[in-house]
Structure 1
Amino acid sequence: MIRFFNWLFPHPFLTLLMAVVWILLQNEFSWGMAVFGVILGVIIPRLTANWWPDRPQGFRIVKMIGYVLIVLWDIIIANIEVAWIILTRRNKNLRSVWITIPLDLRSPEAITILAGTITLTPGTVSADMSNTGHHLLVHALDAKDPDAVRDDIKSRYEARLKEIFV
């Protein structure tokens, strides 16, 4: 049974994501479009499974939901902080820095989510990854302590992603 499930849903998260995106693209909910979104979410990953040989073997969806909530909260807070910087300092005295973050993550999917999370959060952007895939280059708009920014990214995001992608 588990073997059939893994065959049918080679990328369960991608299946769920595609179904949700399809429903959102319709601009109004209908059960028919929801079912069609699920069908697309099953068929497309199944047809492209051969090109994803190193997919993560374990994925904890409950921990991912918690991660998404934390990221959404951080995006709201970062928007307020960046707006405050723009309104009060008008780009004076910005402590803009480049930070190299050593990665403990090895899964390409987890690294992609980490880089996307950093970029989605206003005030930071992931700019490059080392050739070995062991370091991420991040630009921070205003950082009093670059080491604290690095440690925050590692503890707040990377540690959780390590728990999500087993």
Structure 2
Amino acid sequence: MIARISQRVFQQILPHPILSVALFMVWMLMSSPAGTGHATIALIVALLVPQVMRALEPDRVRVRSPLAIIRLLWRLFLDVLASNWNTARIVLGYRKRTRKAGFVNIQLECSNRYALACLAIIVTSTPGTTWVQYDRYSRVLLLHVLDLRDEDDWKAILHDRYESLLMEIFP
């Protein structure tokens, strides 16, 4: 009975203990001379921010296939390297005449918000592409591409290389 009450009190004070510890540590690391004033502010931030997070109550993230995460990270690593190389060639003027920038509308199958957030990060971290807009009702993504050769190629890249793995990872 007492253990249950103390656990409930602990959850009220620290609803997200890992977040609290991380906030406190980051604040202290960013403070040049770590003193009691900085520690007090870090403690206040570490206690208040998780209270705001509790009000938001994000859904629990469930990962269905951890091996798919490794495959996704490997694909992303290779694609970012290739995209950096191609974008550098465009910026340095080696492919100026053949380059055509443009927008592509891509119909997505995925509706999981965590998978969509990961896809947005992937698209944005890959040089030469930008996530411009997403309509969650029609599930259409507007993508800007620096070197647009064929719209169908970009649709296939997003579906086959990323979206399919993200749908495998997130149920």
Equivalent residue for 1:58, pick from 55, 62, 69:
62
- The corresponding residue for 1:148 is 153
Residue 107 of structure 1: how far off its partner (Å) = 1.3
Residue 118 of structure 1: how far off its partner (Å) = 0.7
Stretch moving more, 154-163 or 106-115: 106-115
TM-score normalised by L of structure 2: 0.65
TM-score normalised by L of structure 1: 0.66
Larger gyration radius, structure 1 or structure 2: 2
Determine the C-alpha separation between the residues in 2 that align with 1:60 and 1:154.
19
- The corresponding residue for 2:84 is 79
Letter in 2 for 1:164: I
- The corresponding residue for 2:164 is 159
Residue 161 of structure 1: how far off its partner (Å) = 0.2
SS at the partner of 2:92?
A: helix
Any runs of at least 4 consecutive aligned residues in structure 1 with deviations exceeding 6 A, and if so which?
Answer: 44-47
- The corresponding residue for 1:94 is 99
Alignment pair present for 1:117 and 2:130: no
Is this contact kept in 2: 1:95–1:143, CA < 8 A?
yes
- The corresponding residue for 2:34 is none
Matched length: 140
Residue 142 of structure 1: how far off its partner (Å) = 0.8
List alignment gaps of at least 5 residues for structure 1: 1-6, 27-39
Q: Deviations over 1:78-115 (max 9, x none)?
A: 10111122234463332112011111111111111101
Residue 158 of structure 1: how far off its partner (Å) = 0.3
- The corresponding residue for 2:5 is none
List alignment gaps of at least 5 residues for structure 2: 1-10, 31-45
Determine the C-alpha separation between the residues in 2 that align with 1:56 and 1:138.
29
Determine the C-alpha separation between the residues in 1 that align with 2:157 and 2:92.
25
Q: Give the aligned CA root-mean-square deviation in angstroms.
A: 3.5
Percentage identity across aligned positions?
A: 26
